[in-house]
Amino acid sequence: MLEKPLSRIGILSTKGTVLLLCDTQEKFRPTIFQFTNIVSNAARLLQVSEILSIPQILTEHYPKGLGTTVPELGAEGLKLHTKTSFSMMTESVESSLKSLGDPQQVILCGIEAQACIACTTYDLLERGMEVHIVADAVSSRSQTDRLFALSRLKQSGAFLTTTEGVLLQLVQDAKHPNFKEIQKLLAHPSPDTGLLAFFSSLYRASHTPHPADIITSVTRNQHKPLSEPVRVM
């Protein structure tokens, strides 16, 4: 039986993977939906990447206007890449990726979903890289923009995942030498960031019959004998 390549099914590995932390800056604090919880989840991703020796890349978008990275992220020791483009893929970041051996898997989190996260994802996908967007560590000012951006990025080929999903997928086994350290990060569940509405809408969309199908079903049932119950799909 032929096995699918890992890149086709989205299995994360600690090798050839990089964590991208996008624009978690001070001026966004009062306006980004679920900002505190988003940063909390991003901080856990940063911690696990440090434990598992996964390299990290941190950007700030126009810090003169949007301020610096919030301290609770815990990214003080990281090299900072400033930018004005919505995409994180600046010359500076591309140079860093090259120095890391051109990793092919990206774990992506930060702000904002419909802007910098989206543009970064498109650039990465165009380069043939595999993108894992951590949905509960990504947000926008508008929940509508956030949810539609995540849906659009999934259509484009990115994998949607969660903070805890990333942590567990990276270790894969309770016998992993770093599992005890990771387990401490899993002691408390990730805070809710309002994603249930998103997945409820996806479920309804995938299970709602098309109006034309309903009309066809009614038309067919109209010609059934009266002894049979009429069913509307």
Active-site annotation, residues? 23, 83, 116
| Tokens of residue 213, six digits | 């199908």
Angle between helices 143-156 and 196-207 (to 10 degrees): 60
CA distances from 220 to 211, 215, 228, 230, 232 (A): 14, 9, 12, 9, 10
Overall residue count recorded for the chain in this entry: 233
Between vectors from CA 72 to CA 68 and to CA 77, what angle results, nearest 5°?
A: 70
- Residue from 185, 90, 182, 195 nearest 151 by CA: 195
In our burial notation (b when 16+ CB lie closer than 10 A, e otherwise), range 19-34 reads bbbbbbbebbeeebbb
C-alpha torsion sign, points 63, 69, 70, 76? negative
Q: How far apart are alpha carbons 83 and 87 in whole angstroms?
A: 8
β partners of residue 57: 20
CB count in 10 Å sphere of residue 35: 18
Structure tokens at 98: 């090259």
